[in-house]
Structure 1
Amino acid sequence: MGWLAGLIQRHWQHPQTGLAILLWPLARIFQIIAMLRRWLYRVGLLPSKRLPCPVVVIGNIHVGGVGKTPLVAALVQALHQRQIKVGIISRGYGRSSKDTVIINARTTASEAGDEPLMLFKQTQAPIAVASTREAAGKALLQAHPDLQLLLSDDGLQHYALKRDMEIVVFPAADIGKTMDLLPNGPLRESLGRLHLVDGVIFSQGDAIATHRAQQLDMLKTQWCGYSTLNYADFYCLNQPRQTAQAIEFAGRHCAAIAAIGRPERFFQALQTLGIDLKQTIALDDHAVIKPADWPEADVIFITEKDAVKLTMPLQHNIWVLPLSAQICPDLAEFIQSRLQLRSTATIKTLS
């Protein structure tokens, strides 16, 4: 991360008056450009394509990690339980390839990107990545013509693709905060954008957080809810069947490394679980962990997102912390009802 980017991100967390004065005009220019761009797509002056299948965008108005990927996995699994055939489209941020890729068991993170590959491993759903989400959708529907629904992982601001529903993931910790647009703040679009979407999930929140957002008039959506995170036992990267609980690492020199949007959340989660971290290393989101990055420690903890980028076996004693999300109330039910999707069991009965 460059020093300027680091300075600005620290300013987002702890605003500095002098820097705010310098960045405020730039944020207004960014805001005007964002509003103009969205208006040009809405009135048709910029082309927007529709796919022959309903598209639901799971996106955000923040820059960086908001806990979106675990929610996409949870939503896919909930739709599978309702016997809805769903696929995922993405641009595959951080990948080195520009090709259109339909992910399979042999696909690498450099080909597909770390988040799409992790979603495939977690859900086994059909997933395609391409330079545009339209191209990803076309390729996926050609390979899987029976899909009933496409989830766009991110892409709220990708207006070149028409969408049937928009669901925004918003960090519960940011409810009530005064935040500006880039570069004076972390927002891609203003908070007023929340009034225009179909649903809002407050990540790592609760019913109290949702009620507070409603009191602050943040919401005018048909659906709102929250998500919680659940952590499973650690597993050894070189031997995934070997699992352990936090207490088993007591008395050992432990470190953690993460290349995710908000690595401090991962480090805090480890400490909350009882891991005594002697060292933490935060890399840029989607960065490849290089040999020189590994800390000297008895045990090193990483995220699932980073695990899919690593080629095994590795000489380090590396443990992965799996997590899953739970969405409340049932977002899958809302999507199924809104889009009038029939379960495959019902379709077979009718046919």
Structure 2
Amino acid sequence: MHSVLAYLLLPYSWLYAGVLAVRNWLYDVGWKESEAFAVPLINVGNLRVGGTGKTPHVAWLVEEVLRQGHRPAVLSRGYGRSTRGPRLAGPTDSAATVGDEPWQYFLQFVLRQVPVAVAEARRLGVRLLLQAHPEITVIVLDDAYQHRAVRPTLNVLLTELARPFYADQVLPAGRLRESRSGARRADVVIVTKCPPELSAVAQAEVEQHIRRYSQPNIPVLFSAYEYAEPQPLSAEIELAVEPLSTPTVSSIASPALLLTGIAQPGPLREHLESRGYTIQHHAVFADHHAFQPADLAALRTHWQLGWPIFTTEKDATRLLAPALRAGRSGLPFYTIPVRVAFLGDGGAALRSLLPPLPASNT
């Protein structure tokens, strides 16, 4: 049924792809202006709607440029926020005012003095960052691959191994934001959410498909997720949540609940099950879902004393909303930090593409 519907929607996909192709052509030939900045911009984006792993890859890049001595900043659109226009994230903000992913970046990097800003018009966001923080030496753009009004120094295209762009169609028949030919703007392609043991033969096959659409000599890299140990959601939770010991995988697995509002929760569930947890109930919500007290009340009906409740770092930014404080009371929430690990020498290859420190900082 789904394939039949996709087939019927193909004419609309062709029309949409055509409109986007004209728009991209206008940028390519210079009839629409694409602004460059003195500070290098590293863009992390995708062709497909939904989760390809942008957030942990942005965090990897920020960590890496920090290690190299840069003074980085992060700029995002701030999807789902209640505010509009360019805005610097600050201590009085929240996931509601800047968006869940930007707020996650702010919490992750605030102690390392990494500014985070949101702006629908990225050029205005870049200007705001540079005006407020002239010490910045590089800006990492989260999800600006289709935002052609700014010109990135390094364009990083992500595609998920299980849902590669080369096997998809443009909206509405598929999930692509633009046609597969958009991959030609990439300086590097990263295939995400790979099993760590993905064979060289399998990698070569995927790379061959990607090179039908990308520039001929750009690197094609492969990355996997690494899950850290569970962390208590917050010290301000009314119940004293203790550090959690991972159970020993046995015939009797440890019961737990899972709460997610992300695009692709499957890998996290698989990880928890591989670590010895039996997910008694998985409360699944759409990406960026604004949790309500009723959601937590429903979750509580499935919970039993002693069962941990797992969620993601991204979901945690929304769960900490003041309006949910009563609903969280007594529930032992834990986040599972997610980090990126590159297969083979992929990490070194990506590091070699990063912009150098300006001469004044070396």
**Which category describes the TM-score, using the shorter chain as reference length?**
0.7 to 0.9
Kindly provide the CA deviation profile for residues 177-233 of structure 1, in whole angstroms up to 9, marking residues without a partner as x. 632111111111222322331000111225634322233334424222121211111
- Aligned partner of 1:210 in structure 2 is 203
- Aligned partner of 2:258 in structure 1 is 256
Distance 1:21 1:109, change over 3 A: same
Which stretch shifts more, 60-69 or 256-265?
256-265
1:227 to 223, 229, 234: 223
Which stretch shifts more, 119-128 or 182-191?
119-128
Counterparts of 1:210 and 1:119, CA distance in 2: 31
Q: Are 1:100 and 2:86 matched, yes or no?
A: yes
Q: Does the CA contact (< 8 Å) of 1:99 and 1:130 recur in 2?
A: yes
Which stretch shifts more, 217-226 or 61-70?
217-226
Distance 1:176 1:293, change over 3 A: closer
Q: Are 1:274 and 2:299 matched, yes or no?
A: no
2:116 to 116, 124, 127: 127
Q: Does the CA contact (< 8 Å) of 1:51 and 1:138 recur in 2?
A: no
Look up the SS of the partner of 2:83 in the other structure: coil
- Aligned partner of 2:13 in structure 1 is 27
Alignment of 1:239-318 (within 5 A): 239=235, 242-247=242-247, 253-294=255-296, 295=299, 296-298=302-304, 299-311=308-320, 314-315=328-329, 316-318=331-333
Counterparts of 1:176 and 1:126, CA distance in 2: 32
Counterparts of 2:133 and 2:361, CA distance in 1: 17
1:130, distance to aligned residue in structure 2 (A): 1.7
Alignment of 1:1-351 (within 5 A): 15-17=2-4, 19-124=5-110, 125-175=114-164, 178-205=167-194, 206=198, 208=200, 209-216=202-209, 217-218=211-212, 219=214, 220-239=216-235, 242-247=242-247, 253-294=255-296, 295=299, 296-298=302-304, 299-311=308-320, 314-315=328-329, 316-327=331-342, 328-330=346-348, 332-336=350-354, 339=355, 341-342=356-357, 347-348=360-361
Across the two proteins, how many residue pairs are aligned to each other?
A: 330
Structure 1 stretches of 4+ with a deviation exceeding 4 A read 248-253
1:89, distance to aligned residue in structure 2 (A): 0.8
Kindly provide the CA deviation profile for residues 24-69 of structure 1, in whole angstroms up to 9, marking residues without a partner as x. 1111111101101111222233333333322121100010100111
1:122, distance to aligned residue in structure 2 (A): 2.1
Kindly provide the CA deviation profile for residues 314-341 of structure 1, in whole angstroms up to 9, marking residues without a partner as x. 21221111111123232552233xx4x2
Cα RMSD, aligned residues only: 2.4
Q: Does the CA contact (< 8 Å) of 1:258 and 1:306 recur in 2?
A: yes
Distance 1:321 1:48, change over 3 A: same
1:245, distance to aligned residue in structure 2 (A): 3.1
Distance 1:67 1:145, change over 3 A: same
TM-score for both structures, normalised by structure 1: 0.86
Q: Does the CA contact (< 8 Å) of 2:187 and 2:219 recur in 1?
A: yes
Q: Which consecutive residues of structure 1, in runs of 5 or more, have no partner in the other structure?
A: 1-10
Amino acid at match of 1:290: Q
Counterparts of 2:86 and 2:186, CA distance in 1: 29
Kindly provide the CA deviation profile for residues 250-296 of structure 1, in whole angstroms up to 9, marking residues without a partner as x. 76542211111122333233223222011112212111111211212
Q: Does the CA contact (< 8 Å) of 1:101 and 1:111 recur in 2?
A: no
TM-score for both structures, normalised by structure 2: 0.83
Identity %: 28
Look up the SS of the partner of 1:309 in the other structure: helix
Q: Does the CA contact (< 8 Å) of 1:199 and 1:221 recur in 2?
A: no
